[in-house]
Amino acid sequence: MADGQSTNSTIQTKSGFIWSIAEILRGDFKQSEYGKVILPFVVLRRLDCLLEPSKAAVLKTAETLPDDIDDTTRDMILFSDVGNNVKVYNLSRFTFASLKGQDPAQLHANLVDYITKFSGNVRDIFLDKFLFTDQLKRLNEGGLLWPVFERFTEIDLHPSTVSNLEMGYLFEELIRRFSEISNETAGEHFTPREVIRLIVDLLIANDDAKLSGRGIIRQVYDPACGTGGMLALTEEALTEFNPNIRVELFGQELNPESFAICKSDMLVTGHDPEQIAFGNTLTQDAHKGKRFHYMLSNPPYGVDWKKYQEPIKDEAAQLGFHGRFGAGTPRVSDGQLLFLQHMISKMRDDETGSRIGIVMNGSPLFTGGAGSGESEIRRWMLENDWVEAIVALPTDLFYNTGIQTYVWLLNNRKPETRAGKVQLIDASGEHFWRSMRKSLGSKRREIPDAARAEIVRLYADFVNGESGESDVSKIFRTTDFGYREIRVERPLKLNFQVSDERLARLADEKAFKKLDPDEREAIIGALKTIGEALYRNRDSFEQALNKALRPLKDKDIKLSAPLKKAILSSLSERDEAADTCTDKQGNPEPDPELRDQELVPLGEDWREYLAREVTPFVPDAWVDESVRDARDGEVGRVGYEINFNRYFYKYVPPRPLEEIDAEMKALEAEIAALLRDVTR
């Protein structure tokens, strides 16, 4: 493997050359279409360089195979001729070198022949995902196919020249550049390299013993793998720690081009390309039943799942915890917690267990109150003690968004020292980032190696800021994030009066408007017989009301329940000095407008909380004990939220008034001077 400096040099040299090829497309293709041409050509050239040495042997063996041989057997035989554990071959007589010597007028037909004679696993990539034959047709019709092809023959992408790791970086760099010029969101395709390295370092930070020795196998999974950057860097870190380790990579991706690039990379790096699946992970789990040692992902932020909510909600309802979404479903505007639940469902239940690293925005931390899907998912994770740590990252790290992001670390085999605890690390401060010399989309900052090492140290050493060593790392009990939401009621107190103002309110009531004019007039007349006395007792007023309305029966005017309710509502106003309204059993009725919710920390008795925090200020308040948690049946609904600002808030005193006043006066003088210049 090349060292860091030579790797960067190779990437910049190759990407610069390939970028110059894209310039040929200017005018005939939109900038947003450059990548659709250049990226598959890069893959094609890489495969051509890889397969050329074994080309003759593969063609010779293919001639000896019987016509009725099944595809699987043919593939195994021809893969072995290619060697180096590469699972791809090509049965066309052409290579880039031989195509260059052919008639340029035949290049389009020859290239199509070349592409369609790849083994099925690659043919699908070019034809169905890259839609490359469509691009070749456009290039040919525009007279651009030969100059583009000829330039690609000049670049050597053989693994001996460009390592597998460098090839991955090259793809990444090209995607970023193509996304940038077309104003697309590069962050949808891949995650910044330093963020991936941080997640990987955190995942394996305390796994030295588990990863040491021979015969170690680790399976790594990314359910939204994009072009495969997270998978590649995880393998790099694991093999760097233990050269003898065997790493198996698995993933799934919805974007056709990203999938094509990721699968191509697996092909040329000796991994099983069939372990990279195409499709929607949430609705079509391509790795159903599989369990993995390490899982990491950067799922899409704030992307709604409304258009495919039906199968997800059906799975949640029908399978419960036997499926992937038993804990609950978040609102349809954001599916991040669906990806996290999906990953949890793939945790291993052996002694090794599984570890998850996922980067999400702030929504999964606190969106949704008690009883909501989000809160129930957090509750499920924390009550099962899977959440090990959450790291707040700096803003402006990603190419497509400048928002705050967080790395969640989950572990279903926590060490004893971490049992029942969650570590929060606030790595958003200036100490943990530096400004980039040139912004890349929304990415204006990066995490230096030293800062990454510091974050990993804080995590690995389980640093607790309460001890004074650091104020950016704190340890909490899982129950510290939980609360019980109780409904606090206050009595309904009303006064009643038949006044012109209140009668006007009655005239606007829907139930009153439905009456005939004569009926409305009769009711108003009957109500006025009560007079304008102010009643502070509902029972007394209802007696007077019934007496006043009784003569209406003789006029065949029926007072429906909705109409009587409208009369009482219109003629009443809230009055603290009035008597409490009671139901038929003599119990006080609650006032919906005064209803409140109190959040009682888990572990504290709600009665004690009420006596301390509520009763001294509103002595007539009580708790509605009929509102209970759906799971434990206790009074109040349980909720969980993780509010970083609350735990890491730092008070900044306001500036002295004298300083602000002096600044204002200076600004006034400056404005006055500018105005004088204008009016001269």
- Domain final position from 574, 589, 614: 574
- Domain final position from 574, 602, 618: 574
* Phi, psi for residue 617 in degrees, rounded to 5: -105, -35
Q: 419 with 503, same domain?
A: no
The residue type of 420 is: G
Domain annotation covers residue 195? yes
Taking alpha carbons only, the member of 175, 170, 108 closest to residue 145 is 108
Q: What is the CATH number of the domain that holds 31?
A: 1.20.1260
Domain annotation covers residue 34? yes
Domain span at residue 375 reads: 188-462
Residue 582 predicted with pLDDT over 80: yes
Taking alpha carbons only, the member of 487, 510, 484 closest to residue 602 is 484
Domain annotation covers residue 631? no
Q: 278 with 397, same domain?
A: yes
Q: 176 with 204, same domain?
A: no
418 vs 404: CA distance, rounded Å: 26
Domain annotation covers residue 603? no
Residue 465 predicted with pLDDT over 50: yes
Q: 163 with 196, same domain?
A: no
Please give the model's pTM, rounded to 2 decimal places.
0.84
3-state helix, strand, coil in the chain (%, to 5): 50, 15, 35
Q: Which of these ranges, 308-312, 424-428, 657-661, has the smallest mean pLDDT?
A: 657-661
Residue 185 predicted with pLDDT over 70: no
Q: Which residues pair with 597 in a beta bridge?
A: 487
Q: For the chain, give the number of residues.
A: 680
The whole-number pLDDT of residue 680 equals 67
Domain count for the chain, please give it: 3
238 vs 247: CA distance, rounded Å: 8
Domain annotation covers residue 670? no
DSSP state of 66: -
Q: 206 with 300, same domain?
A: yes
Q: Which residues contact 311 (CB under 8 A, 6 or more apart)?
A: 283
Range ranked top by mean pLDDT from 24-28, 183-187, 208-212, 492-496: 492-496
Q: 150 with 218, same domain?
A: no
Range ranked top by mean pLDDT from 14-28, 162-176, 613-627, 651-665: 613-627
Q: 354 with 308, same domain?
A: yes
Domain annotation covers residue 138? yes
Taking alpha carbons only, the member of 356, 359, 360, 362 closest to residue 381 is 356
Domain annotation covers residue 597? no
Residue 290 pLDDT grade (very low, low, confident, very high; cuts 50, 70, 90): very high
Could you please report the per-residue DSSP string of 454-506?
Answer: HHHHHHHTT--GGGTS-SSEEEEEGGGGEEEEEEEE-B-BEEE---HHHHHHH
Domain annotation covers residue 581? no
Question: For 35-72, how does the pLDDT look when each residue is reduced to its tens digit (9 = 90+)?
Answer: 889 989 999 999 999 999 999 999 999 999 998 899 88
Q: What is the CATH number of the domain that holds 392?
A: 3.40.50.150
258, 130 in Cβ contact below 8 A? Answer: no
Question: For 390-409, how does the pLDDT look when each residue is reduced to its tens digit (9 = 90+)?
Answer: 999 999 888 777 889 999 99
Q: 154 with 108, same domain?
A: yes
Count of CB atoms within 10 A of residue 542's CB?
Answer: 14
Higher pLDDT, 164 or 500: 500
- Domain final position from 162, 181, 200: 181
- 411: buried, middle or exposed (CB in 10 Å: 19+, 13-18, 0-12)? buried
- The stretch 223-247 carries a mean pLDDT of 91
Q: How are beta strands 246-253 and 405-411 bridged, if at all?
A: unpaired
78, 62 in Cβ contact below 8 A? Answer: yes
Residue 568 pLDDT grade (very low, low, confident, very high; cuts 50, 70, 90): very high
Q: 527 with 457, same domain?
A: no
Q: 27 with 97, same domain?
A: yes
Q: 31 with 48, same domain?
A: yes
Percent of the chain with pLDDT over 70: 95
Q: Which residues contact 472 (CB under 8 A, 6 or more apart)?
A: 425, 426, 427, 429, 431, 458, 465, 648
Cα radius of gyration rounded to whole Å, the chain? 35
269 vs 265: CA distance, rounded Å: 6
The whole-number pLDDT of residue 186 equals 39
Helix pair angle (500-507, 517-528), 10° resolution: 150
Taking alpha carbons only, the member of 311, 308, 331, 328 closest to residue 320 is 328
Q: 142 with 202, same domain?
A: no
